[in-house]
Chain A
Amino acid sequence: MKRALGALIALLGIATSVCAQSDVPILSGALAFNASTTGGATSFVPTLAPVLVAPLGDHWLIEARADVLGFFAQQNGTSGPYNGRFFATFDYGQVDYIANPHLTITVGRFLTPFNIYNERISAVWIANLQDSPIIFTIGTRTSSASNGGMLRGVVVERPNWLLNYTAYFSAASTTENLLAGRAAGGRIGMFLPKAGIEFGASYQRFLQDRNYNAAGTYLVWQPPQIPLDVRAEYAYSPGGQGYWLEGAMRVAKNRSDTSWLGRLQTIARVQQFFKGVPTPQDILPSADVNQFDFGLNYYLPHDVRLNGSYGRQYSSAGNANIWNVQIAYRFLFPAWPGEHK
């Protein structure tokens, strides 16, 4: 596996060098620092999450993301000196072939397309609240990634609506940093651009150890007239089911308002989780959970974001207050210097 990964990375480097006369790869991602206190236990998490995107002509694309994380917490949870360490994770490394408007073929390690949080919202510079939803691991399990192949594309496109799909298969892997479960699944989504509504459904059959199904639905609503973002997901697996509903509102007249007040965004999220039968490799809570969170985002110039949130979790396993404060810098630049196009 290490040789395969090394070969992939080497291929990436050589291919981008040779073919990228007109296709400039980019380095994107974020540098962030998060301070969190959950139930009285404080932790600090510095994060570097670089993303490499290398187009090779109009049809081929190579994408990869890694996370370098630090985790520092008190030795005895709520007392003692702070200890910690840095570690790295390989989130995804995939080769995409954009065959035509209806089909893109992806091979490699990719973020599991179950609902939309994992693929599109979980990045540290995108998520409005730093704690992932409780149901996040349904359909994504522990690594959030799949190793194998994926087909995706737009089935039908009309001026007022668009139908898209994703289908994938993942092989099992227990290799460090390449963890994945054997599974197959898909997602279908509908986007109504004029109404700012997107919704869809996901299905996954987990094919390892004990076979079981997971299913989910999602909704995104962005009314064009006001700077409001509403997102929601529901997910079910034998291990439990639940939902989250999040609203984020800019204190501005429109989305492009960059006044000092217009850069402020308020966030609220409510979620519920209902415990089912414990299943292999799920890391769901051991009991029913109700939780609400309130947060504030402030978008500073130069793609720096300040974020703070408070949450209250109610569970038979114990109630807890959750505080998060974060600063994140989102970067994006060409992977190497060159002329303007």
Chain B
Amino acid sequence: MKTWFTILFGTLLLACSLRVLAQPQSPVPATKAPTPAVHKKAKSNDGEQRFQANCGRCHTPPEALSPREVKAVLQHMRVRAMLTAEDEQLILKYLAP
């Protein structure tokens, strides 16, 4: 068990280090985007409707999602909650316009 966690954390640390080193520094601070804001008015009614209909089936939505996180979240939910490809695209546009 200890071996697994050592491997896991070691690998994650290595992965993070490689990623940070490989990426040019962005002038934009790495803070959460001032967005999508799940509870704010959206441009895409379809996306909002899909979001409300699908995500709320199991859980309350997180208070905010940054655009950087949205793709991973939606792919995760596409597999876990059987979102359709169309759902994924519309919700993506709603959360990260």
Contacts and interface: CB of A to CB of B under 8 A. Distances in A.
Interface in A138-196: 152-154, 157, 162, 164, 176-177, 189, 191, 193-194, 196
Contacts, number: 155
Interface size class of A (residues with CB under 8 A): 35 or more
Contact of A157 (B59, B66, B75, B86): B86
Interface residues of B, number: 52
Contact of B15 (A17, A126, A152): A17
B52 to A, nearest CB: 7
Given A17-B22, A120-B81, A12 B72 contact: no
Contacts of A5: 4
Contacts of B1: 88, 176-177
Interface stretch (A22-30, A204-212, A278-286): A22-30
A96 B79 contact: yes
Contacts of B33: 340
A16 interface: yes
B28 to A, nearest CB: 5
B4 A2 contact: yes
A53 B68 contact: no
Interface in A48-64: 52-55, 61, 63
B53 A196 contact: yes
Given A104-B79, A220-B57, A53 B72 contact: yes
B72 A24 contact: yes
A40 interface: no
B18 A198 contact: no
A179 to B, nearest CB: 13
Interface stretch (A31-39, A76-84, A297-305): A297-305
Contacts of A301: 63
B67 A198 contact: no
A299 B60 contact: yes
Given A63-B79, A303-B63, A120 B56 contact: no
A126 B68 CA distance: 23
Nearest to A339: B26
B57 A198 contact: yes
B58 A336 contact: no
A26 B8 contact: no
A338 interface: yes
A338 B84 contact: no
A143 B60 CA distance: 26
A121 B60 CA distance: 11
Given A26-B72, A120-B81, A14 B15 contact: yes
Interface string A1-23: 01001100110111011101101
Interface string A267-308: 000000000000000000000000000000001011100000
B19 A16 contact: yes
Contacts of B96: 341
5 tightest A-B CB contacts, nearest first = A339-B26, A13-B11, A337-B30, A13-B15, A17-B18
Interface of A: 2, 5-6, 9-10, 12-14, 16-18, 20-21, 23-26, 28, 52-55, 61, 63, 66, 88, 90, 96, 98, 101, 104, 106, 116, 119-121, 123, 125-126, 152-154, 157, 162, 164, 176-177, 189, 191, 193-194, 196, 198, 220, 222, 224, 229, 255-256, 258, 299, 301-303, 330, 332-341
24 contacts: A12-B11, A13-B15, A25-B72, A54-B72, A55-B75, A61-B79, A88-B1, A88-B5, A106-B79, A177-B1, A193-B50, A193-B54, A194-B53, A224-B53, A229-B56, A255-B56, A334-B66, A334-B69, A335-B15, A338-B19, A338-B26, A340-B33, A340-B66, A341-B68
Given A26-B73, A336-B20, A339-B30, 9 more contacts: A2-B3, A17-B14, A24-B72, A189-B82, A193-B50, A333-B69, A334-B66, A336-B15, A341-B96
